[in-house]
C-alpha cells in the first residue's frame, strides 16, 4: 500500500479530529459546531473558506502552485449524524442523547480535512480543488440543496468525486463501478381511514389494522410479481402506527416505508402499483385511503471516464489487487446523486474492516464506529486524485 508518508505523519491528528466530531454529532442542517470546526481547520491550513450553502455547508477553495490549466475538480464529504442512541462505551462516544455518527460521516469529514491539510502544504498540482463539506445527507437531501443554491455556479468544476466507508470490506480495499451504483430512494405513506369501535364489537366498525396488515403483505408482491426479475426494486414497510389502547379498534392506521430502484420508469410503476393495490384492499374492506409518495434521491450514476480515473488513482494508493472495478450496485441511496446529475464524477467505497474486527459493524447500527485505521488511506486517495487529475505542467 502506497499511502502518502506526510499524511501518515499526522494520522493521530486526523484521528483526533474524527473523534472530536464523533463525540459531538449534529443532524441534518444543524451541523453548526461541525461546520465551525471544518471552517476553522481550512482557514488554519490557509485555504479560502466559503459558508452558507444549504445553511451549514462549507466549501474550501485551494489553487495549486500553478493554475495555468484553468481546470478544477470537487471533492465531497458529508458531515451529518443520525437520530440513533449510541450504545458504544468508548471515550469518544456521542455526548448528545439520541444522536450518533452511525454512518461514518465523521470519518469522511476528517479524511477530506487530512487531504486538504496535505494539499495546502504541497500544492503539487495545476488547477483548483473545491473541498465540499455537505450537510444533511441522511434523508434530507443536503446535496440537492447545495446544487440548487448554486454550488457549481459559485465553484465551477469539471468533475466531482465522493467516497464512503464500507463495513464488510477489508481495510485497504476500494470498490467502484461505472453506471448505476446506488438506488433511487422514494418514500411512501398510506393513511387508512376506517370506523372505530369497541374491540369486543368489531362488526360495528371498519378495522384499519386488519386492512393495513393485508396491505403490508400484498406490497411484498410488487417486487416479486409486478416487476421484471432483472429490474431491481426493494419495497420495505418500516412503520405501522395504529391505536392507543387495548380495547379500541382505532379509526385510522398509517403505513410508511421506502422504495429503492434504479430506473425512473420503475419509480413511476411503483407509485402506481402501491396506490392501486392499497386502494383496492381498502375498498374491499369498506375503508378509504390516501397515499403520499415522495421521490427523495435519484439513482447515483458514475460516469465512465471519471470511474476509470478514480480506479487508477485507487490502484496507486492501495494496489491493483485491492481495487474491485465493476462492483455490484447497492440498493442503498446517496444524495451525492444530485451532484452527479449536475457534473460527471465517481463515488467509491473504501473498506472499513470485516466482521468481528474494528470497523466491521454495519452502518446505521448503535454499535458502529468509523475505523480510524483507514483515515490515511482515504486522505491519500483524495490527495492523489487531485495530483493525478490536475498534474503540474512541465
Residue 146's closest CA among 224, 47, 80, 234? 80
Tell which of 251, 271, 297 closes a domain: 297
Cα distance between residue 380 and residue 298, in whole Å? 29
First-to-last CA distance in the chain?
Answer: 28
With a CB cutoff of 8 Å and minimum separation 6, the contacts of 112 are: 75, 76, 77, 131, 133, 379, 382
In this structure, the answer to whether residues 169 and 193 fall within a common structural domain is: no
Global pTM? 0.92
In this structure, the answer to whether residues 231 and 310 fall within a common structural domain is: no
Residue 75's closest CA among 389, 392, 393? 389
Q: What phi and psi values does residue 360 have, to the nearest 5 degrees? A: -85, -15
The DSSP element (H or E) to which 154 belongs, if any, is helix 151-154
Is 339 part of a structural domain of the chain?
yes
Is 359 part of a structural domain of the chain?
yes
Cα distance between residue 38 and residue 28, in whole Å? 16
Can you read off the three cell numbers belonging to residue 349?
Answer: 467505497
Secondary structure (H, E, C), 239-266: EEEECCCCCEECCEEEEEEEEEECCHHH
Residue 379's closest CA among 161, 20, 108? 108
CATH of the domain at 363: 3.40.630.10
Can you read off the three cell numbers belonging to residue 106?
Answer: 465523521
Question: 257 and 239 in contact (C-beta within 8 Å)?
Answer: yes
CATH of the domain at 206: 3.30.70.360
Can you read off the three cell numbers belonging to residue 47?
Answer: 485555504
Cα distance between residue 198 and residue 250, in whole Å? 9
Is 30 part of a structural domain of the chain?
yes
Q: What is the DSSP letter of 82?
A: B
Q: CB 44: neighbour CB atoms within 10 A?
A: 11
Q: Which residues of 269-281 are buried (b: 16+ CB within 10 A; e: fewer)?
A: bbbebbbebbbeb
In this structure, the answer to whether residues 205 and 112 fall within a common structural domain is: no
Tell which of 232, 263, 297 closes a domain: 297
In this structure, the answer to whether residues 172 and 219 fall within a common structural domain is: no
In this structure, the answer to whether residues 81 and 115 fall within a common structural domain is: yes
With a CB cutoff of 8 Å and minimum separation 6, the contacts of 190 are: 212, 215, 254, 255, 256, 274, 278, 289, 290, 291
User: In angstroms, what CA-CA distances link 290 with 111, 218, 344?
Assistant: 45, 17, 39
Cα distance between residue 109 and residue 301, in whole Å? 22
In this structure, the answer to whether residues 284 and 307 fall within a common structural domain is: no
Number of domains in the chain: 2
Is 330 part of a structural domain of the chain?
yes
101-137 pLDDT tens trace: 999 999 999 999 999 999 999 999 999 999 999 999 9
In this structure, the answer to whether residues 242 and 195 fall within a common structural domain is: yes
Can you read off the three cell numbers belonging to residue 346?
Answer: 465517481
Is 130 part of a structural domain of the chain?
yes
5-54 pLDDT tens trace: 999 999 999 999 999 999 999 999 999 999 999 999 999 999 999 999 99
Tell which of 278, 297, 316 closes a domain: 297
In this structure, the answer to whether residues 12 and 45 fall within a common structural domain is: yes
In this structure, the answer to whether residues 88 and 207 fall within a common structural domain is: no
Residue 220's closest CA among 234, 207, 230, 209? 234
In this structure, the answer to whether residues 266 and 351 fall within a common structural domain is: no
Q: CB 292: neighbour CB atoms within 10 A?
A: 11
pLDDT in tens, the chain (394 residues): 789 999 999 999 999 999 999 999 999 999 999 999 999 999 999 999 999 999 999 999 999 999 898 999 999 999 999 999 999 999 999 999 999 999 999 999 999 999 999 999 999 999 999 999 999 999 899 999 999 999 999 999 999 999 999 999 999 999 999 999 999 999 999 999 999 999 999 999 999 999 999 999 999 998 777 766 657 899 999 999 999 999 999 999 999 999 999 988 888 999 999 999 999 999 999 999 999 999 999 999 999 999 999 999 999 999 999 999 999 999 999 999 999 999 999 999 999 999 887 889 999 999 999 999 999 999 999 999 999 999 986 5
Residue 159's closest CA among 309, 315, 299, 38? 309
Is 35 part of a structural domain of the chain?
yes
Q: Given phi > 0 = left and psi -120 to 50 = alpha, else beta, which region is 55?
A: left
Is 394 part of a structural domain of the chain?
no
In this structure, the answer to whether residues 168 and 251 fall within a common structural domain is: no
Question: 174 and 180 in contact (C-beta within 8 Å)?
Answer: no
Is 164 part of a structural domain of the chain?
yes
In this structure, the answer to whether residues 293 and 357 fall within a common structural domain is: no
Residue 99's closest CA among 121, 116, 83, 120? 83
Residue range(s) defining the domain that contains residue 125? 5-181+299-389
Amino acid at each position: 500500500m502506497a499511502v502518502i508518508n506526510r499524511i501518515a505523519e499526522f494520522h493521530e491528528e486526523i484521528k483526533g479530529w474524527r473523534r472530536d466530531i464523533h463525540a459531538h454529532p449534529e443532524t441534518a442542517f444543524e451541523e453548526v459546531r461541525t461546520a465551525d470546526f471544518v471552517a476553522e481547520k481550512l482557514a488554519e491550513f490557509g485555504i479560502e473558506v466559503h459558508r452558507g450553502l444549504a445553511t451549514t455547508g462549507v466549501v474550501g477553495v485551494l489553487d495549486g502552485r500553478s493554475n495555468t490549466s484553468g481546470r478544477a475538480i470537487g471533492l465531497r464529504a458529508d458531515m451529518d449524524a443520525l437520530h440513533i442512541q449510541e450504545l458504544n462505551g468508548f471515550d469518544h462516544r456521542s455526548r448528545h442523547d439520541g444522536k450518533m455518527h452511525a454512518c461514518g460521516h465523521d470519518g469522511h469529514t476528517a479524511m477530506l480535512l487530512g487531504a486538504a491539510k496535505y494539499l495546502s502544504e504541497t500544492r503539487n498540482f495545476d488547477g483548483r480543488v473545491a473541498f465540499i463539506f455537505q450537510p444533511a445527507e441522511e434523508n434530507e437531501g443536503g446535496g440537492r440543496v447545495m446544487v440548487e443554491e448554486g454550488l457549481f455556479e459559485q465553484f465551477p468544476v469539471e468533475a466531482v468525486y465522493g467516497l464512503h466507508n464500507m463495513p464488510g470490506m477489508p481495510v485497504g480495499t476500494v470498490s467502484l463501478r461505472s453506471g448505476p451504483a446506488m438506488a433511487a430512494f422514494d418514500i411512501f405513506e398510506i393513511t387508512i381511514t376506517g370506523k372505530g369501535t369497541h374491540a369486543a364489537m368489531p362488526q360495528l366498525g371498519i378495522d384499519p389494522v386488519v386492512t393495513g396488515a393485508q396491505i403490508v403483505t400484498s406490497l411484498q408482491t410488487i417486487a416479486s410479481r409486478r416487476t421484471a426479475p432483472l429490474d431491481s426494486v426493494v419495497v420495505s414497510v418500516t412503520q405501522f402506527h395504529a391505536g392507543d389502547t387495548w380495547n379500541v379498534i382505532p379509526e385510522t392506521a398509517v403505513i410508511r416505508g421506502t422504495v429503492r430502484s434504479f430506473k425512473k420508469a420503475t419509480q413511476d410503476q411503483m407509485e402506481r402499483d402501491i396506490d392501486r393495490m392499497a386502494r383496492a384492499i381498502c375498498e374491499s374492506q369498506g375503508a378509504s385511503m390516501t397515499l403520499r409518495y415522495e421521490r427523495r434521491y435519484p439513482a447515483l450514476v458514475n460516469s465512465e471516464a471519471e470511474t476509470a480515473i478514480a480506479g487508477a488513482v485507487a490502484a496507486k494508493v492501495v494496489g491493483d489487487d485491492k481495487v474491485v472495478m465493476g462492483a455490484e450496485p447497492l440498493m442503498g441511496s446517496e444524495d451525492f446523486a444530485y451532484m452527479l446529475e449536475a457534473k460527471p464524477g465517481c463515488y467509491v467505497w473504501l473498506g472499513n474492516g470485516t466482521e468481528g474486527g474494528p470497523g466491521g459493524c454495519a452502518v446505521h447500527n448503535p454499535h458502529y464506529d468509523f475505523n480510524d485505521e483507514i483515515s490515511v488511506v482515504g486522505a491519500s486517495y483524495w490527495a492523489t486524485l487531485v495530483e493525478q487529475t490536475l498534474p503540474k505542467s512541465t
